[in-house]
Amino acid sequence: MNTEDFKVHDIRTFPLCLIEPHVVAPGYSQQWAQELDALMARGEPFVLIYREPADDEPHPDRKLRTQWLKQHKVAFAGLCRGIISVLDDAVRRSHFDQMGQMGEQVFGVRYRTAPTLVEGQALAWRLLDGEG
């Protein structure tokens, strides 16, 4: 995979794929889907790490991402070992934990939160090792 082809996911530390908040701008979901297609085509397990995700993703982007996740549910769950949101605010982490439990049931992918990027990365490695 060419890192230059990825605008949403920072894959320089693959299998840890980092998503920074500034790339989640209205209209990003098409690129997000193309990049996930490329990650899936690689056929190797990975973890998505979102730094300080927003609470108000634009509806068209959420809709496209949800459709992609539904369409690729089994294959995605087979390769994505987890989605981690890094949130320094404990109240937001709690809110995201609750939302994540619903997402786990729907899409079959573990969802976790962490207070720092370092802790999120450590958690990602544990998920890749089958723990957590």
77-121 tens-digit pLDDT:
999 999 999 999 999 999 999 888 888 888 889 999 999 999 999
What number is the average pLDDT over the span 114-130? Answer: 96
Read off the pLDDT band of 1 (50, 70, 90).
confident
Work out the pLDDT band at 17, boundaries 50, 70, 90. Answer: very high
Over residues 27-67, the pLDDT tens digits come to 999 999 999 999 999 999 999 999 988 877 889 998 999 99
Q: How far apart are CA 101 and CA 109, in angstroms?
A: 10
What pLDDT is attached to residue 5?
87
Reading the block at residue 119, the tokens are 């802790």
Token couple for 104 = 């786990």
Global confidence as pTM: 0.93
Residue 132 has pLDDT above 80, yes or no: no
In this structure, how many other beta carbons lie within 10 angstroms of the beta carbon of residue 97?
Answer: 14
* Domain spans, the chain: 3-128
What SS3 state is found at 131? Answer: coil
Q: Do the Cβ atoms of 115 and 93 come closer than 8 Å?
A: yes
> Please, are residues 79 and 114 in contact by the beta-carbon 8 Å criterion?
no
Residues 131, 102: Cα–Cα separation, whole Å:
20
Predicted local confidence at residue 82, as pLDDT: 95
CA nearest 48: which of 2, 6, 106?
6
For the stretch 5-25, what's the b/e string if a residue is b when 16 or more beta carbons lie within 10 angstroms of its beta carbon?
A: ebebbbbeebbbbbbeeeebe
Over residues 68-81, mean pLDDT: 94
CATH topology of domain 3-128: Phosphatidylinositol Transfer Protein Sec14p (3.40.525)
Q: Given this model, what pLDDT does residue 103 score?
A: 81
CA distance 18 to 114: 13
